[in-house]
Chains A and B, each alone.
Chain A
Amino acid sequence: MEIFLQQIINGLVQGSVYALVALGYTMVYGILGLINFAHGEVVMAGAMLALSALTAMIGWGAPPLLALPVSLLFAMAGCMLLGFGIERIAYRPLRHAPRLAPLITAIGVSIVLQNLAMMIWGREYHAFPQLISNHPHQIYGAIINDIQIIIVIMALLIMAALMGVVHRTRLGRSMRAVAENQHAAQLMGVDVNRVISITFMLGSALAAVAGLMVSANYGIAHYYMGFLLGLKAFTAAVLGGIGNLRGAMLGGLLLGLIESLGAGYIGDMTGGFMGSQYQDVFAFFVLIAVLVFRPSGLLGERLAERA
């Protein structure tokens, strides 16, 4: 029972990170109908930028409670710039090109970012400084620490704020309008290019938060951390129904749970034949299963017809 509860907690923590990243995929997809393949690298950039800022500020003797929010803001600003740039360079000129073209430029961007990060930060794993106490709390035998509690609460707050922006502000209304019909929105006086840029920047800011969370939770950051995370977050977005904000959150949390329960019990289920090293396989099987049985995702509209 304790193990079960522990896996649930781990799954929720990991799932909230997936949800934040999945929101970035789903927002861009909702508006442009394009998979922003380079999004995972933005998460990595966020983690690395935050880490650098944090190390620098600690070096100057700043108190951790000041350094943490400032470096988070720094990473968010950096990622927003990055997201803006990616859209401008790799996606905007190809908006009316065949589908394959932006996907290929996205792979290009992803490779460039990864290798730039490797040149700047090196190949090694960077240890994330211990700033918040990770004092463990016992809940019915399962353990959750402060960082994990902060991650879950922060993720929930950010998602609520995002929903507020999308559903209650003028900007959100124009975002929804562009998603519905770009041409009509333009005729109604919505600056489509501006809305698309802002969407990319919002998604990238969320990615920066997620990046900081992942590296704080695991205590490490690495130039290659974005790839698998991005792939899984994309799976989460598809699971929830890509293009749907609530779907991305639900998909993220569900995928986190599936993964952690799967990794925890696969050994017992297969009689020890497969162990937790197969954890990364689950996301992929979930993706295939969703695509076969419910391609529109749990909360999505029927997407398969929009071929």
Chain B
Amino acid sequence: MKKLKFSKQHVLFSVLFVSVMLLPFATDALLGRGWVRIVDFAMLYIMLALGLNIVVGYAGLLDLGYIAFFAVGAYCYALTGSPHLALAFPLLFPDGLHLSFWIVLPLAALLAGGFGALLGAPTLRLRGDYLAIVTLGFGEIIRIFMNNLNAPINLTNGPQGISRIDPVSVAGVALNTTQQVFGIELPSVHLYFYLFLSFTALVVFVSRRLEKSRIGRAWMAIREDEIAASAMGINTRNLKLLAFAMGAAFGGVSGTLFAGFQGFVSPESFSLMESVMVLCMVVLGGMGNIYGVILGGLLLALLPEVLRHSVVPLQQALFGRIVIDPESLRMLLFGTALIAVMLYRPAGLWPSGVRRRELESDEVAP
């Protein structure tokens, strides 16, 4: 009989797998159910950050309006999976559309990707900083439209947002209910955790395959030196467009998940600061390195919650009142961290090998 061999990597991987699978139960037991929800949101942010990593980390295109694609995905499912369309088109959809999540998901990815291509086409042949500003403007525009498209046809319900969105259901089981599996009670947040976990795993898998593929290598060549890349026969425009559209599609997928999980979307969730936050995750974690980005996403998604739970009581204890509100302290920390990381650790906390090598050689070169 063949002897089973366990390499160190296998052991590490299984330990990691088991601990991630047990994470919601551990969090629930130690910190309470509210924190499982926070962990769920952290997973969503990680997905977003991985999507943006394709654009910023691989292809080196700075996208400051990434949250707009998230919004496109979220509104896609919000419109087609809630009773809201009954308000806009009472004759056509008397009860709303209520499409299945699994039908909307690919459509939303396609639509978000289409938006990405539409936005990228005129701007990608220009310099990188123009792209940054245009995407930033696009993010704001999407928000303005969502805020105002409640008249004359009530499409987005304006600032109030769309509520009563159907939950995601997997194999006929709606995830907003508590389920019993082998006698273990699984509340809704746990179910969503596993859903998000599988999607994150999928995104990680796709990212990893992309990174090593012909396309991924071409992206990195463009990032390093566009002129040299195009001299090597790389169609830089199409590949940049592909990176942009693909990143946008990932954003759209996370958006639909968000809408299904939250059951409610409003333009408020898609502000510029959200884009900046996702960008921070990618930059701080390490542009171009999947594990760095996951680390960045986890850190930045959990940090505000930790701050919220520590800063307020701490200030109460020290000064007897709240001197600095946690929200602006968080943003202040983000801003400072962005500057500091760029100055002292330009490749991020956990940089990719290529990036590190290239930055080290930069220092040697005159």
Contacts and interface: CB of A to CB of B under 8 A. Distances in A.
Interface stretch (A13-21, A104-112, A187-195): A104-112
Q: Which of B56, B64, B130, B148 has the most CB of A within 10 A?
A: B130
Contacts of A295: 126, 130
A103 B148 CA distance: 31
Interface stretch (B7-15, B23-31, B303-311, B327-335): B327-335
B274 interface: no
Interface string B324-366: 1000100110111111001100100000000000000000000
B170 interface: no
Contact of A100 (B62, B148, B276): B62
A94 B343 contact: yes
Given A103-B129, A105-B338, 19 more contacts: A97-B342, A100-B128, A101-B342, A104-B62, A104-B283, A107-B338, A109-B335, A112-B332, A112-B339, A116-B332, A227-B272, A272-B152, A273-B152, A278-B144, A280-B140, A284-B141, A288-B123, A291-B122, A291-B134
A17 B145 CA distance: 26
Interface residues of A, number: 50
B328 A108 contact: no
Contacts of A115: 328, 331-332, 335
B32 interface: no
A35 interface: yes
Query: A interface, by DSSP: helix, strand, loop or mixed?
Result: helix
17 contacts: A35-B129, A89-B339, A94-B343, A103-B129, A105-B338, A105-B343, A109-B339, A112-B335, A231-B133, A231-B137, A274-B148, A275-B148, A277-B144, A295-B126, A295-B130, A303-B127, A307-B126
Given A231-B140, A284-B137, A119 B64 contact: no
Contacts of B186: none
B42 interface: no
Contacts of A109: 335, 339
B194 interface: no
Nearest to A97: B346
Contacts of B342: 94, 97, 101-102, 104-105, 108
Contact of B62 (A103, A111, A277, A284): A103
Contact of B346 (A89, A101, A114, A235): A101
Contact of B144 (A111, A235, A281): A281
A61 interface: no
Nearest to A274: B148
Contacts of B134: 284, 287-288, 291
B267 to A, nearest CB: 13
A111 B338 contact: yes
Nearest to B336: A112
Interface in A75-120: 89-90, 93-94, 97, 99-105, 107-112, 114-116, 118-119
Nearest first, the 9 closest Cβ-Cβ pairs linking A and B are: A108-B338, A111-B335, A112-B335, A108-B339, A284-B137, A292-B122, A115-B328, A108-B335, A115-B331
A119 B324 contact: yes
Given A107-B276, A109-B335, A272-B152, A307 B343 contact: no
